[in-house]
Structure 1
Amino acid sequence: MTNIRTVRARIATGLSIVVLFLAALAPGLIDSGSALALIRVPLEAVLALAVLALLPWRTARVIVAGLCALLFVSATLNAALDRGFTVTVGQPFNVVTGWPELVDAYGVLSDSTGPVAAPAIVVLVIAAAAGCVVAVAASLLHLAGLIRRHRRRALIGSTAVIAGWVVLALTGAQLVRGEPIAASDTVTAAVATADQVSAAERDQAAIRRAGSSDQYAQLPASDLLTKLKGKDVIVAFIESYGQVAVQNTSYSAGVDAVLRQGNTDLAAHGYSERSAFLTSSTFGGISWLAHSTLQTGLWIDSQLKYDTVTKGSRFTLSDAFRKAGWQTLSDVPSDTKPWPVGRSFYHFGTELNALNVGYKGPAFSYARIPDQYTWAYLQQHELAQPHKPLMAEIDFVSSHTPWTPLPHLVPWSSVGDGSVFDPQPAQGLSPSVVWQDPRHVQQLYGQSIEYTMSSLFSFLTTFDDPNLVLVVLGDHQPAAVVSGTGANHNVPISIISKDSRVIDRISSWNWEPGMLPSPSAPVWRMDAFRDHFLSAYGR
C-alpha cells in the first residue's frame, strides 16, 4: 500500500511539473510554432513556487495560486489570439481596442462553421480555459507543498535555477529564433498590454489634434467638388480586393483576364479609367477602418482610433458631397440592423442594408446579398429615377471570406427580387469543406473577385450612364491564408468615367490607363486620397 501511495505521489508530482511548465511556456510555443520553445526556463513558474512556499497561510496560498494560474492561462489565450489575428488581419490582438474585432471574428467563424458549431467551439474554449486554470492552480499548490516539506533542498535548487536563468538572460541564448531560453512569457505579455494602453492614449491624442484643424471643412459649398457638378459619384468598396488578386499569384491570372476584358468592354462603350494602388490601414478584415481612412483623410488603423474619430466631427467625403448639394447614400448589404455612425458621423441621407432593399433570395455565407442584386437595386431605385446628383458609398461583399459558396451572373432582366439566385448556393461547396485546403481557398478567393468585377463591368455596359463617375477600390488584402505571410497592405483603386474632363482632372496623379495597375503603378497611403480628390475636383 505504501508503494502505491508513493507511486501515486510521484505521478502527481510529475504531472504537476509538466502542467506548470507547459502553462508557463505555452505562449512562446504558440508564438514560435516550434516544439523547441518548450526547452526553456520559465522564470515566472519558479518565482510563483517560491512565493507560495513562503506563504504561511493556506487561504493566501490558494488565492495566490489561483491568481498565478489565471495569469498563465490569460497569457496563453492572448498568445493564441495574437497568432490568430496576425494570420487573418496582419497584426496582433489589441486588448484595449480589439474587442469589437473579436466579435466580428466570431461572425466569420459562424459563417465558416455554421450556427451550431460556432457557439459550441466558444463554449469548449471557455471550459478548457477554466479547466486549465484549475489544473495549474492545483499543480502550483502541490509543488509548493513539496517545497515546504523539503525547504533546504528546494532553496538550493531554486537558487541554482534563478542564477542559471540570469546567466541565460544576460547572454541571450536561444534555441528558437526570437525565443530566449530564459523565458518570461507572462511578464512579456503584461508589458505588451501596458504598452498597448500607453499607445492607445497617444493615438487618441494624435487623432484629436489631427481632427481639430481641417482646411477643407472651412471651404464654402461653392468651392467644393465643382468639377463633378451634375455627376452621380459611386465609391465602390470591393471586399478583400487586394494587390495579390491582380499580381504574381496562382489565382491572379483569372482576375487579370477579367480586368483586361473589362478594359475592352468599357472602351467600346466610351469609358476611360485610371488605376493605381492605395496602402490600406487594415489587412485581412476590419473593413470599416479602411472606409473611415478613405473618407476622413486620417490614418485609422485601430478600433480605438475609429471610435475616437467617429465620435467627433471630422469632415468626410460624404460631408463634402452633401455640403455641395449632392444627396448621399450608403449601402452595406450584410448589415441587418441600423448603423448609427452612418447618420451621426458620415451624415448619409439614405442608409440601405440587407433588410430594406427588398431582397428575397438566399445568402451566400457571409454575403447576404450578391453584388449583382446590389447594382440592380441601385439602378432601379436610385439612378433610373428622377433625382438630384447622388453620392453613394457601397460595399460589395460577394468577395468576403469564406469565399464560398459563390453566386454567378444572371440576365439583368431576371434579377427581380433576388429569388432567381435560390438554386445557386447549393451549387457551391460549404466553407467547412473548402477550408480544409488553403489552395482551394485561394482558388475560390480569385473566383470571387472575378465575379464581383464581372458584375461591375456588366452593370456599366448594360446601363449606359454618361453622368456616372465611379471610384472602385479594395478595402484590404485578403487574410494571410490567401495573401501569404508578410504581404503588403496595397489594394487596387480605379476611377471610371465617360467624361474625359473627369479623367483629365487627375492627369497629374500619373495613374495608369485601364483597370489593371502594373507593378510600377503609383502607390499612395489611403489617407492621402481624400485631400487629393477634393483638390482635383474642387476649386
Structure 2
Amino acid sequence: MSTRESAVAAAEEAEPGEAVTAPAPGPRRPFRRPWAVVAARTRRWREEHPTAVQVLSVTVDVLAAALVVVALVLPNTVVGLGPAKFLRIPGEAVIGAAVLLALPRRPRIVLAAVSGVALAAMTVLNLLDMGFNQYLGRSFNVVLDWSLFGDAESYLEDSLGRTETLAAVAGLIVVVLLLFVVLALAVVRLSNLLARHTAVATRGTLIAGVVWITCTSLGLQISGVPIASEHTASALKIEARRVSDTLRDEAAFRKVAKVDRFGNTPGSQLVPDLRGKDMIFTFIESYGRSAVEDPIMAPGVDATLDARTKALAKAGFHAKSGWLTSATYGGSSWLGHSTTMSGLWISNQQRYRTVMASDHMSLTDAFKKTGAFDTVGVMPGVQKGWPEQKWYGLDKVYNAFELGYKGPKFSWSTMPDQYALQQYQERVHSKKPADGKTRMSLLILTSSHQPWAPIPKMVGWDQLGDGSVFKGIQAAGNKPADVIADTTKSRQEYGKSIQYSVTALTQWLERYGSQDTVLVFLGDHQPIARVSGNHASRDVPVSIVAKDPKVLDKVDGWGWTDGLRPAHDAPVWKMSAFRDRFLTAYGSTPHPKKG
C-alpha cells in the first residue's frame, strides 16, 4: 500500500475530532543517471571478462591504425586501384607519431583530434577526386565545383526518383559526418596508445622512419607502387596549388575575354556569305569521338551515320565533318556550348560566369548584329530562368515548358529529340521572319544525356501530337538503375541514344530542310569516363550540312571528311578555334577589340 493510501485509510477509521497522524514514508531508492548505470555495467563486464576486453581493445587499436593508414594512402583515382596502393608506409604517420610522443597529454589530444578532422577532410577530397575523375575526367576543384552538387542531385532525382535521391543524399551526409568523427577518435586513441607505451612507440617510430627513408632512397616498390608514401602531403600541396592557380586564372582570363578579333566588326561585315540562309546550330548531348571509334558503340553509330549520309544525299544535302577538342568532358555541357560560340576556352564555371557577364561576341550574336537574321533558341533541357539568353543574342528562347509536351520524361531528358524538333518546325521553322529577314536558330538536344535509359524510339512524324505517344515507349524501356550499375550496358545504350539523336535530327532536315538550310551540328563533350574509357580523348565530331554547294566550298580548305562521319585522321581543332574559323570562312572582316 502506498503512503497516500495509508493516510486515507487512517482518516476513515479515526473518531471525529481525533487527530490523524500519517505513517512515516518508507525508504526511497536513490536516483541514478542512465549513463552512470551504463558505465557501472560496463565496468562490471570488463572485470568479469578480462580476456575479451583485451581482445576487443587490441582489435579496436588495429582497426584505428588501419583506418588512419588507409586514409593517408588513399589514391584519388580508381585507375590502378589495388592492394599494393594500401601496402605502403605513410611518411605522415611516422612524423605524426614522433610529434605526438613529444607532447604532454592535453596538447597531444587536441592535436590528435584536429589531425583526425583534417585527415577526414583530405579523405573526402580524395573521394571527390575519384568521382570527378571517373565521370568528368578531371579532379574536383574546391573553389569552383561546389555548385555542381545541385546539378548532381537534380540528375539523380530525374534518373532514380525523389525518394531514392533524398535517401541517398541523407545517407551520404551521415557517412561523411561519421567519417569525421571516427577518424578524429581513431587518431586520439592511437595517440593514447603511444603515450601508454612510450618506450616501445619511440623505438617503433625510429625503425619506421629508417625504413621509410631507405625505401625512398632505393625507390623500392610493390607491383610498381612505391612502398614509401607521402600521398597526403603531396595531395595537400596539389590542392593548395590548384586553389592558387584558380584564383590567378580568374584574373588572367578576365583580361583575355576582353580581347575579341571580331569585337568591333560592323554588322554589315559579319557572315556576308550566309545572308539569306536558314542557319541552324545544333548540339547533340554527349556526342563524342568514342561513339564513332569505340569498338562497342561505333558499329551501330557508324552504320547510322553512313545510312543518314546516303539518305541526305538522296534529298540533295551534302556534308563535311571534322573533330573539335571540347573544353569539358563527361558533363557541364554549357562549357562546351559557350566555348564553341565564344571562341574562348571556357573550361570551368568561373570562366563561364566571366564570359556571360562580358560583351565578348558569341557566334550566334554575330548573326543578330547583322540585322539580317531573327535569332531563336529551342532548349528542352532548360527548366528555369536562363539569363544567358542575352549573351547568346537570342531574340526568343523556347524552354522545356513552352513546347507543349504532355508525354513522359525520359530520365533527365524532358522530351524526345524528335518531338523537340517537330515543335521547332511548327513554332519556328515553318514561319517566315518579318521584314524580309532570315533566321538563325540554336537547338540543344537532350535525348543522349546519361543515364541513357530509357531511350526514345522514332515514331511517325505525323503521329507525334502532344507527345503522349511516347508513354508506352518510356514504360517499356530500361530502368536507369539497371543501366547505371552495368558499364557494358551503359556503353551499349549510350551508342543507341546517339543513333536516335542523329537519326531524329537528320530525318528532320531531310523532311523540312530547304535549298537555303545550313545545319551545323556537333557534340558538346565525350560521355563519362566509365563509358568512353579512362584514356579517351576529349574530341567530338562536328559536321556542316547544306544543299547549296557554295556553302561547303567555303570550307573546302579545312580538310574535313565528306559525309557525316569524320575520318580518324581528319583535322582536330580546339573547340575555341571554331568561331573565328567559321566567321572567316564565310566572309567576316576582322576588326579587333583590345582589352
Match of 1:526, as an amino acid? M
Matches within 5 A, 1:152-167: 152-167=199-214
Separation in structure 2 between the aligned mates of residue 29 and residue 460 of structure 1, nearest angstrom: 43
The verdict on how the C-alpha distance between 1:507 and 1:10 changes in structure 2, with shifts beyond 3 A counting, is closer
Aligned partner (choices 449, 453, 461) of residue 400 of structure 1: 449
TM-score by length of 1: 0.94
Aligned partner (choices 571, 575, 584) of residue 526 of structure 1: 575
Matches within 5 A, 1:244-393: 244-325=290-371, 326-343=373-390, 345-387=391-433, 388-393=437-442
Match of 1:45, as an amino acid? A
Residue 324 of structure 1: how far off its partner (Å): 0.8
Aligned partner (choices 43, 64, 69) of residue 16 of structure 1: 64
After TM superposition, the runs of 4+ consecutive aligned structure 1 residues lying more than 4 A away are 2-5, 28-32
Aligned partner (choices 20, 29, 41) of residue 89 of structure 2: 41
Does 1:130 pair with 2:153? no
Matches within 5 A, 1:163-182: 163-177=210-224, 179-182=225-228
Separation in structure 2 between the aligned mates of residue 302 and residue 143 of structure 1, nearest angstrom: 41
Match of 2:518, as an amino acid? V
**Taking every aligned residue pair, what percent have the same amino acid on both sides?**
38
Residue 5 of structure 1: how far off its partner (Å): 4.3
For the Cα contact (< 8 Å) 2:271–2:586, is it kept in 1?
yes
Separation in structure 2 between the aligned mates of residue 28 and residue 261 of structure 1, nearest angstrom: 43
Match of 1:38, as an amino acid? F
Residue 265 of structure 1: how far off its partner (Å): 1.5
Separation in structure 1 between the aligned mates of residue 56 and residue 422 of structure 2, nearest angstrom: 72
Residue 62 of structure 1: how far off its partner (Å): 4.3
For the Cα contact (< 8 Å) 1:282–1:476, is it kept in 2?
yes
Match of 1:13, as an amino acid? D
Separation in structure 2 between the aligned mates of residue 226 and residue 377 of structure 1, nearest angstrom: 29
Residue 481 of structure 1: how far off its partner (Å): 2.4
Match of 2:341, as an amino acid? Q
Separation in structure 1 between the aligned mates of residue 485 and residue 288 of structure 2, nearest angstrom: 23
The verdict on how the C-alpha distance between 1:524 and 1:101 changes in structure 2, with shifts beyond 3 A counting, is same
For the Cα contact (< 8 Å) 1:234–1:394, is it kept in 2?
yes
Separation in structure 2 between the aligned mates of residue 147 and residue 357 of structure 1, nearest angstrom: 68
Separation in structure 1 between the aligned mates of residue 97 and residue 379 of structure 2, nearest angstrom: 54
Residue 400 of structure 1: how far off its partner (Å): 0.7
Greater C-alpha radius of gyration: 2
1:177-215 Cα distance to aligned partner (Å, 9 max, x none): 3x4322223212211111111221332233223222212
Does 1:230 pair with 2:276? yes
Aligned-partner SS, 1:339: coil
Aligned partner (choices 116, 125, 144) of residue 191 of structure 2: 144
Matches within 5 A, 1:396-435: 396-435=445-484
- Greater CA deviation, 184-193 or 421-430? 184-193
Separation in structure 1 between the aligned mates of residue 365 and residue 110 of structure 2, nearest angstrom: 55
Separation in structure 1 between the aligned mates of residue 503 and residue 53 of structure 2, nearest angstrom: 73
Residue 405 of structure 1: how far off its partner (Å): 0.5
The verdict on how the C-alpha distance between 1:110 and 1:188 changes in structure 2, with shifts beyond 3 A counting, is farther
Separation in structure 1 between the aligned mates of residue 484 and residue 243 of structure 2, nearest angstrom: 35
Matches within 5 A, 1:487-526: 487-526=536-575
Aligned partner (choices 110, 133, 138) of residue 91 of structure 1: 138
The verdict on how the C-alpha distance between 1:247 and 1:29 changes in structure 2, with shifts beyond 3 A counting, is closer
Aligned-partner SS, 1:476: coil
For the Cα contact (< 8 Å) 2:77–2:129, is it kept in 1?
no
Provide the aligned C-alpha RMSD in A. 2.0
Separation in structure 1 between the aligned mates of residue 281 and residue 430 of structure 2, nearest angstrom: 18
Matches within 5 A, 1:46-65: 46-56=94-104, 58=106, 60-65=107-112
The verdict on how the C-alpha distance between 1:110 and 1:43 changes in structure 2, with shifts beyond 3 A counting, is farther
Does 1:240 pair with 2:286? yes
Aligned pair count reads 536
Residue 61 of structure 1: how far off its partner (Å): 4.1
The verdict on how the C-alpha distance between 1:6 and 1:440 changes in structure 2, with shifts beyond 3 A counting, is closer
- Greater CA deviation, 269-278 or 167-176? 167-176
Matches within 5 A, 1:416-495: 416-495=465-544
- Greater CA deviation, 318-327 or 154-163? 154-163
Separation in structure 2 between the aligned mates of residue 62 and residue 112 of structure 1, nearest angstrom: 45
The verdict on how the C-alpha distance between 1:3 and 1:213 changes in structure 2, with shifts beyond 3 A counting, is closer
Aligned-partner SS, 2:378: strand
For the Cα contact (< 8 Å) 2:320–2:560, is it kept in 1?
yes
The verdict on how the C-alpha distance between 1:173 and 1:313 changes in structure 2, with shifts beyond 3 A counting, is farther
Match of 1:69 in 2: 116
Aligned-partner SS, 1:215: coil
For the Cα contact (< 8 Å) 2:77–2:130, is it kept in 1?
no
TM-score by length of 2: 0.86
1:220-258 Cα distance to aligned partner (Å, 9 max, x none): 111001111111211100111111212242221222222
